[in-house]
Structure 1
Amino acid sequence: MWLNYAYYVLLFCTLTVMLAQLSFRPVRVEHILTAIFSGSLAMVALQVLTAQADSPYQYVFALGTCATCNVIWLISRALFRGAESLAIQHYALAASIALLVMTSRSLELMESVNWLTADNTGWIKGAVSEITQLLSSTILALAFWEAVRGFTQASKTSQYQRLLFAGSFFTGVFSCTVVAEGILTSDVSSQIKPWLVVSSALLITLVTFIILFWQHLSRRHISNIAQISTGTEGVAEPILAEDKKVFNQIRLLMEQEQRFLHHDLKTIDIANALQVSEYRISRAIRAMSAAANVNQFINSYRISYAKQLLTSHQSEHWTILVISMESGFASLAPFNRAFKASEGCTPNQYRQRYMSKETVTNNPVVPY
């Protein structure tokens, strides 16, 4: 009875957190991922509640429980490395775990409607369960690692956020695994573990939302500071001075060492070179430049370099592909997109315009 109330509380809180993501402006990747994570936990609550009521809908709700541990890893990575750290391989790994969970739940659904029998699906469910458990354990460890890696190089605020996340995450996972399955007896565990699961889910959800809101307020504060011309009011000055220092170091890497020519340059590479956190790199660039993110900032240097190559006589016979590669782009398509977004024309059009102007300059029309 009381356990049902606990799951109703979980359902209410997760739906509230999910809807609260709509209030963030601008909406970032971590907000979208948190909404997915909260929605999946809401499905967990609905599955348990309908199972206790012996409702057939429990199998339908179970299909939606596929975005818990895999998505919290993506959230942890985005919170403490920045959204730029998420690449296609990270989403692919999370999606593969979700697919495994949905496969297992689908088999249970087909068994419930007598489309399949346990004799036919037993070995498949067993294999899927073992693989899912292995991947889930690995992904949980990675989620915790994202919060503690680079802790000493992080700012004080980031350290507090990392401690809060890592502490709640460790508490939740430790209580549901080591305590429930390793310390307690089976009889006691069967009664206590559901409470540990629901409380851990609540704790991690609320802590994640608190950190999201905390970071949102920090970004707004930094944005307001950047608009202050003097930058000398109250506590704003040391934060702005810190951003200026990091930003000047980033500019040295770009302008003197020309790191932007490395096509695989990422935020973590800049952070490692300067011995600071990725969050501080992203924060400094957003606060001190017109770029919306690190990738856009790096591309601005690449495009400037490409414009020099497009108008140089030494590279006038180079193809656009060669110029894109020489400027630090990994392939031609991203180069064309970034160049057109910056200059309003394609690289080839930019070169032709320059050549037309040079022809007119070198061969002026002589009036009679």
Structure 2
Amino acid sequence: MADPEPPALILAPLGGDARALAKVIESTGTPSRTVADAAEFKAAVEEFGLENVLFVLVSQEGATQALGEALHRIAETEPDWSRLPTLFLIDDIKRPPPGYRILAAVEDTSSRIVLERPVAPAILRRIARTMAASRARQFRTKNLLDQLRREEERSAFLLRELRHRVRNSLAVMQSLFKMTARRAESVEELAESFGTRLRNLSDAHLRLAGSGEGAPTLQELVSDQVLPYAGERDRLDISGPEVWLSDKIAFDLALVIHELATNASKYGALSNETGRIEVDWTTDTETGELVLSWRERGGPSVSPPERRGLGSSLISSFLADGENKPETRYEPEGLVWTAHIPESDYWTSEPTAPGRLQESAHQDREPS
């Protein structure tokens, strides 16, 4: 449903004036709200929010000192993108009402218009359209500023993520080299084995960036992200029915699995030669959710990190808005991570369009 159009606020204590002005304003396609005094005006601004008020129209009788003070506070506190257009309809420009005189202290008068009554409806409509267009440009400016702020935040996040991944990649390559060197019997074998692992690691990064073809199954997603760090296939045990994930969930989960595998290679079950990773998933028959578990076995003892870094935040934020939040446990046998994937984000038959659930997807589910 589209957001409602911002209204014009009409402050005209005399009922006949209020109805006549509202009729003219609404004939331009602009919704209006009439208020009787400064208190109702302030309540309306608070209700709609300043960013959702198109303009203000004030009659001679409504331009009280209390209203002038309210408009003065708005002028002093509104954000840089905003200049609330205000139209005063008064009896004598040479003797303005107190509400208008208070605003004279505000230097920026570009958003204020004063007309002597009576004003022809055609002129009032023309000015109303002009003020509405001016305010619409302000709203567009606000949207652009919000977009720039979001882009700056995203750029800052990506930069932090890049630094984090570079540090992780260097640590992982060092760990892979040490592990490969311990098993290699010659320089040639070391070069071949280490080169293979580096290629596998590169393939995993390409998959993570969406460079692969087709929609991978959950088993393929886990294998792609873990095997480059495990080195040997028998160190990764995967079990669960064949399922596909929506694009958004698949990408987010790949980031998490990649982070878990990276941490396991540095501190957990993949940091030695005997540890194993167990990944399994089952369907919760009551909720329909896919319950996914990551378990580390045979590695060194683990404990919660002393500080929460980017990696920990990434792992804990996966589907954190749902009712069943992800859970991380540091058990004596190794780290355990569990997540619940909503029924709407996975299916048991390969999608015809990756990332988009088909209407028949739920019909294709295996009976629970």
Structure with max Cα Rg: 2
The higher relative CO (CA closer than 8 Å, separation ≥ 6) is in: 1
TM-score, scaled to structure 1: 0.26
More strand per residue: 1 or 2? 2
TM-score, scaled to structure 2: 0.26
More helix per residue: 1 or 2? 1
